[in-house]
Structure 1
Amino acid sequence: MRHSRLARGLHARAWRSAGHVSLLAAMTVFGVWGPAAVAADPQAYTTTLRPTGNADLDDALRASSDLLSLQKTQAVSPFALTGRIHNDYSRLISALESFGFYAGGITITVTDGGGKSGAPVAGSHDGRDPDLPEWMQSIPEGHRAQVTISARPGVPFRIGVVTLNPDRGDPPVRLNADEVKAFAMKPGMPAQAESVLSAGVTLQTALTEEGYALATVSKPQAWLRPDTHTLDIAYTVHRGPVVNLGAFDFAGLQRTHPAYIARRLTIAPGELYQPSRIERARQDIAATGLFSDVQVNHGDTLAPDGSMPLDFAFREGKRHSVGAEGGYSTDLGGRAGVTWTHNNLFGNAERLRLTALITGLGGSAEQGLGYDFYADLLKPDFGSRNQNMSARLEGIKQELYSYRQTALLARIGIVRRVNRRWNVSFGGQIEQEQIQQMRTNNSYFIASLPLSANYDGTGVDNPITPATHGVRLGASITPSASLTDGTSFFAIMQATVSTYFDLKALGLSRPGRSVLAWRGTIGNVEGASTFAIPPDQRLYAGGSATVRGFRYQGVGPQFANTRYAIGGTSMDAGSFEYRQRIMQKFGAVGFIDAGQVTADRTPFQGTVRVGAGAGARYYTPIGPVRLDVAVPLNRPARGDKWELYVGLGETF
């Protein structure tokens, strides 16, 4: 029987005899074959690892060998190379034992591989030969030593007796069903270091998850049984008392109110101590974006009342930031501007964002420059957790071919996250605007109450990150009233669905490399006829949001002998895309879109317009940069021949 302990994996070393003195080395040193040549210093060498037939074991041996990892980067003298060879024995034996091969062995031989300066010195030497350094000094300069590593795994060992010993003064260790499942160490299992060590770690994790905050499971002791090729192991287990959370201490808060952090936390004093819930609470606070770092720690002793206090340490992030925004399409032209953001405005994670944009830079659907100025205020956790309040004040000027608009609007809304996939929003909006259409000026005051629901089953948290599977749904209804020059009531209803299919499911590609994507949109306006609805509230199609290849508002009814869109009360559109990743940073897309707009309230009426095209993608850490070119397949007489779209993120 041999005793072993675990350090750098599970080791149970059996040192072998060093071998015999090499007569060949002595003959070389003393000149039996003539005068010694000039030796190389440093000594170049090449290492070969003979396969064992076990690919995972070969990888472990290769990763453990300094001879292999250092041969190209750290050249050494013959004496230092001998030391490197000697050290490799213990490293390689450890790799064998980590896979449960405790009866294996390692052989390292060294020969002169020769070189341009002449024939090699004859002989093959055991790496443990005491005369190896002198022999290697006889290798002429310009020759390269050939080091060969051979591993003999031998019979694999299995787990024998498994013992759980109580710590001093503790009662006998008895595991419940959940603890037994977590421990998962049974006689007969392969005696691999990783599984033996991880069993103790997972048992300790299971104990702490049950509230044993001070629980410890020691690194196991191990005893080799060569006769039976088994390994007996013993762990020392200390449970300690079941513990509840104690008081929370917040350090590093400069502008953030501690009361907000306390409300935001998903844990509270008096609850059962569970490391997983503590970590989720830490991640949730970090996700607010207020902090560049959030840490939580606790000591090794309990408070006088038997609870476990937690110490939170915060490092607050930058309070102000400036960003740029831009995009281009041939129909809407270019848009460019800047955004200034004030984070944590009142100390409760409020965010104020001011944006100024110039729009309509050279667009085919534009008659001139416009602007879009707005201020957004976000108040998170408004009223309750997972519920945000947002408010916007916005000034808009648009010089579209269909109409010219100058407007001031204000809106406020609540967005509530129902669960991981669903969220709903509701609110109110008022808008004062002037619109010129076909040389007629009209003023409108519009009040509306938008309500929407959204579902995202793609598993993608960032909307800019391309989805590869799942479904997205969005539906909204906006009851509105136009209160100028007579009151008209109408309700705008819209729904969009998109779905994504990874061709990996058919075995045709690697995950996320080849994706099919579909999008369908339908809209309807009820309660008023087309011309009783303000022009900006009517439905339009054309552009990247509906039918590419047609300019924005280029699909649907138009005034006679013009390219001015009237808009409609019913709209539907669909898109299909094939997305292909190319290498790491690039991608290509092929697509076809179709849609129609009509003054009838029944969808799927009117003239269907179809566009098709292709695009390129460049994938950045924040999302893909998109460039699409589309052409209309059934262009009207006054329509454009092609359209170009540039933006960040996929179209849908």
Structure 2
Amino acid sequence: MGRRLHGPLLLALMLAFSPPSANAFELFGLKLFGKDKAAEEPDTIGEPWNYTVEFVLPYGADETEKKLKGASSLWADREKPASGAAGLIVKARGDYRRLLNTLYGSALYGGSISITIDGQEVSGLPIDADIANPASVRVAVDPGSVFHFDQARIINQAPPPLNRNDRVEDPAKEGFQSGEVAASGTILKAGRLAVEAWRHQGHAKAEIVERRVTAAHETETVDAILTVEPGRRAAYGVVTVSGTERMDPDFVARQTGLVPGREYDPDDIDRARERLSKLDVFRSARIEEADEIGADGLLPLAVIVQERLPRRFGVGGTYSTLDGLGVQAYWMHRNLFGRAERLRFEGQVSGIGNTFKPEDLTYRVGATFIKPGVYTPDTDFQASIFGDREVLERYTRTAVSAELGFRHEFTEALSGSLFANAGRARFEDDFGTRDFTTVGLSGTLTYDSRDNPA
């Protein structure tokens, strides 16, 4: 016999998508039957146990069947044997929750699920049941009807923000309102948005303290009431740094841009992570908030990092029938003095094969130095010098050029640069030798509002 929810039911909306317990049937975080833990699950790998599996749904439920198969462990692993008879039973039991979560995700709260092995309902099979090898597994699902919201309310919803950058999507516009399809994902998203709205207004520890979700099967409707506790408004406290080896921890804290005393904003935390990532010295970097806001209204923050090896080098090559063989190489130090200063030497030579005379090859060598975090965490100083010799059919060019300047990120979307540059070049051709000197300023202003600029 399949398992069916009868209503109205009061459910705690805490969908769990992690691998389920073998004996406990848990829906929305509410255990409907079974034990707290699967004590009988074997730890050892058993004899390979083959099985076939079929899904049976009413006519016209093709889309639902596709979603259910996508969530089913039985279906995903149908081409490989289970780990013994017990392993197959455990896998089948886990599918109860996976499939029901999938139904709930489509607002199908009145459905029933039956999973049988050789005609026996899995929920009633002991872990050591004697089943055939290969076994015949049948998954029969009656999805039922789509439920809609009757009530969809948020208690203690955040007021409209004064700063437009603190705006968060309105849960109602995301489908959390009367008459809309009552998908479980919509309820979960509404809770997240309700919390984020408060967090963007400085309430770092806002949380959902109560979820009341009632499914009425007679009317095929759902009442969902979410209660938010915003907590106190918070400002940044002291920023501590751990895990550094060669990096200056005070510099790392400064580079986050999280100034003690400034009002908390989750966007600041995201920006701080991006700044640390752009330093290119950390294998990993995370920012953890303290569990509680201090009596002074300050929220301490901890930055935990793991550094990369400071040195890096690479070599490469190219070949074309026109230019011959080319070779490139570079060496880089990404933390020269402990504040993520980068020094890179590079060189390349081409034309090998077309000629073997060194003076007839084309060369380019240079060095670049970048110091991040000058003046502000978003300002970098850069200096570079390059020398190159280019041998062409009609002339030969030998030159040296240098530039120094600054790059600055004004916002996430707006950045700019200003550089002074100078160069000296000598051209040799049939008319003799000529020298040129250039001096100039160059600047850029870039606006890029893409979510994931490449």
- TM-score, normalisation: structure 2: 0.74
> Cα distance 1:421–1:56, how it changes in 2: closer, same or farther (>3 A)?
farther
Residue 147 (structure 2) pairs with residue 176 (structure 1): no
| 1:217 to partner: Cα distance | 0.5
Task: Note if contact 1:11-1:98 (Cα within 8 Å) is conserved in structure 2.
Answer: no
> Cα distance 1:296–1:404, how it changes in 2: closer, same or farther (>3 A)?
same
Residue 10 of structure 1 corresponds to 28
Return the letter of the residue paired with 1:377. F
Quote the Cα distance in structure 2 between the aligned partners of 1:60 and 1:341.
49
Q: Deviations over 1:546-590 (max 9, x none)?
A: xxxxxxxxxxxxxxxxxxxxxxxxxxxxxxxxxxxxxxxxxxxxx
Task: Note if contact 1:13-1:102 (Cα within 8 Å) is conserved in structure 2.
Answer: no
Quote the Cα distance in structure 1 between the aligned partners of 2:340 and 2:69.
51
Residue 105 of structure 1 corresponds to 112
Residue 110 (structure 2) pairs with residue 127 (structure 1): no
Quote the Cα distance in structure 2 between the aligned partners of 1:382 and 1:135.
69
Quote the Cα distance in structure 1 between the aligned partners of 2:105 and 2:309.
47
- Which of these residues, 16, 35, 59, is aligned with residue 66 of structure 2? 59
Residue 269 (structure 2) pairs with residue 274 (structure 1): no
Return the letter of the residue paired with 2:391. E
| 1:226 to partner: Cα distance | 2.9
Residue 159 of structure 1 corresponds to 149
The equivalences for 1:425-436 within 5 A come to 425-431=418-424, 435-436=427-428
Q: Deviations over 1:345-383 (max 9, x none)?
A: 23333222222333332459x982243332222334555
| 1:78 to partner: Cα distance | 6.6
Q: Deviations over 1:146-185 (max 9, x none)?
A: 44333212233333345656xxxxxxx3542469964433
Residue 399 of structure 1 corresponds to 391
Secondary structure at 2:437 match in 1: strand
Residue 512 of structure 1 corresponds to none
- Which of these residues, 324, 343, 367, is aligned with residue 334 of structure 2? 343
Residue 207 of structure 1 corresponds to 198
Task: Note if contact 1:107-1:126 (Cα within 8 Å) is conserved in structure 2.
Answer: no
Q: Greater shift after overlay, 80-89 or 49-58?
A: 80-89
Residue 427 (structure 2) pairs with residue 438 (structure 1): no
Quote the Cα distance in structure 2 between the aligned partners of 1:183 and 1:460.
22
> Cα distance 1:354–1:77, how it changes in 2: closer, same or farther (>3 A)?
closer
Q: Deviations over 1:582-602 (max 9, x none)?
A: xxxxxxxxxxxxxxxxxxxxx
Residue 311 (structure 2) pairs with residue 320 (structure 1): yes
Q: Deviations over 1:20-40 (max 9, x none)?
A: xxxxxxxxxxxxxxxxxxxxx
> Cα distance 1:403–1:312, how it changes in 2: closer, same or farther (>3 A)?
same
Return the letter of the residue paired with 2:367. A
Structure with the larger RCO, 1 or 2 (CA within 8 Å, 6+ apart)? 2
Quote the Cα distance in structure 2 between the aligned partners of 1:386 and 1:320.
24
Quote the Cα distance in structure 2 between the aligned partners of 1:134 and 1:298.
47
Secondary structure at 1:72 match in 2: coil
Structure possessing the higher radius of gyration over alpha carbons: 1
Quote the Cα distance in structure 1 between the aligned partners of 2:32 and 2:260.
53
Task: Note if contact 1:162-1:187 (Cα within 8 Å) is conserved in structure 2.
Answer: yes
Task: Note if contact 1:107-1:127 (Cα within 8 Å) is conserved in structure 2.
Answer: yes
Quote the Cα distance in structure 2 between the aligned partners of 1:157 and 1:314.
47
Quote the Cα distance in structure 1 between the aligned partners of 2:209 and 2:171.
13
Quote the Cα distance in structure 2 between the aligned partners of 1:441 and 1:48.
84
Return the letter of the residue paired with 1:400. L
Q: Deviations over 1:85-131 (max 9, x none)?
A: 566556544543443333222345667xxxxxxxxxxxxx4637989
Q: Structure 1: which 5+ runs fail to align?
A: 16-40, 112-124, 166-172, 466-652
Quote the Cα distance in structure 1 between the aligned partners of 2:315 and 2:415.
31
Return the letter of the residue paired with 1:202. L
Residue 74 of structure 1 corresponds to 81
Residue 517 of structure 1 corresponds to none
Task: Note if contact 1:326-1:337 (Cα within 8 Å) is conserved in structure 2.
Answer: yes
Return the letter of the residue paired with 2:148. R
Secondary structure at 2:360 match in 1: coil
| 1:297 to partner: Cα distance | 0.9
Return the letter of the residue paired with 2:79. K
The equivalences for 1:261-410 within 5 A come to 261-363=252-354, 368-382=360-374, 387-407=379-399, 409-410=400-401
> Cα distance 1:132–1:283, how it changes in 2: closer, same or farther (>3 A)?
closer
Quote the Cα distance in structure 2 between the aligned partners of 1:197 and 1:239.
17
> Cα distance 1:271–1:191, how it changes in 2: closer, same or farther (>3 A)?
same
| 1:308 to partner: Cα distance | 0.9
- Size of the aligned set, in residue pairs, is 410
Quote the Cα distance in structure 1 between the aligned partners of 2:414 and 2:345.
29
Task: Note if contact 1:109-1:148 (Cα within 8 Å) is conserved in structure 2.
Answer: yes
Task: Note if contact 2:210-2:228 (Cα within 8 Å) is conserved in structure 1.
Answer: no
Residue 40 of structure 2 corresponds to none
Task: Note if contact 1:361-1:368 (Cα within 8 Å) is conserved in structure 2.
Answer: no
Task: Note if contact 2:49-2:81 (Cα within 8 Å) is conserved in structure 1.
Answer: no
> Cα distance 1:211–1:54, how it changes in 2: closer, same or farther (>3 A)?
farther
Quote the Cα distance in structure 1 between the aligned partners of 2:365 and 2:230.
62
Residue 168 of structure 1 corresponds to none
Quote the Cα distance in structure 2 between the aligned partners of 1:266 and 1:164.
34
- Which of these residues, 51, 55, 72, is aligned with residue 49 of structure 1? 55
Residue 497 of structure 1 corresponds to none
Q: Deviations over 1:372-426 (max 9, x none)?
A: 332222334555565544333444444333223445x352332445764664543
Return the letter of the residue paired with 1:67. L
The equivalences for 1:188-203 within 5 A come to 188-203=179-194
Task: Note if contact 1:296-1:312 (Cα within 8 Å) is conserved in structure 2.
Answer: yes
Percent sequence identity is 23
> Cα distance 1:454–1:152, how it changes in 2: closer, same or farther (>3 A)?
same
Quote the Cα distance in structure 2 between the aligned partners of 1:392 and 1:239.
51
Residue 240 of structure 2 corresponds to 249
- TM-score, normalisation: structure 1: 0.54
| 1:229 to partner: Cα distance | 2.5
Residue 231 of structure 1 corresponds to 222
| 1:260 to partner: Cα distance | 3.9
| 1:296 to partner: Cα distance | 0.8
Quote the Cα distance in structure 2 between the aligned partners of 1:83 and 1:311.
41
Quote the Cα distance in structure 1 between the aligned partners of 2:145 and 2:451.
48
Quote the Cα distance in structure 1 between the aligned partners of 2:368 and 2:276.
22
Secondary structure at 2:75 match in 1: helix
Q: Give RMSD over aligned pairs.
A: 4.1
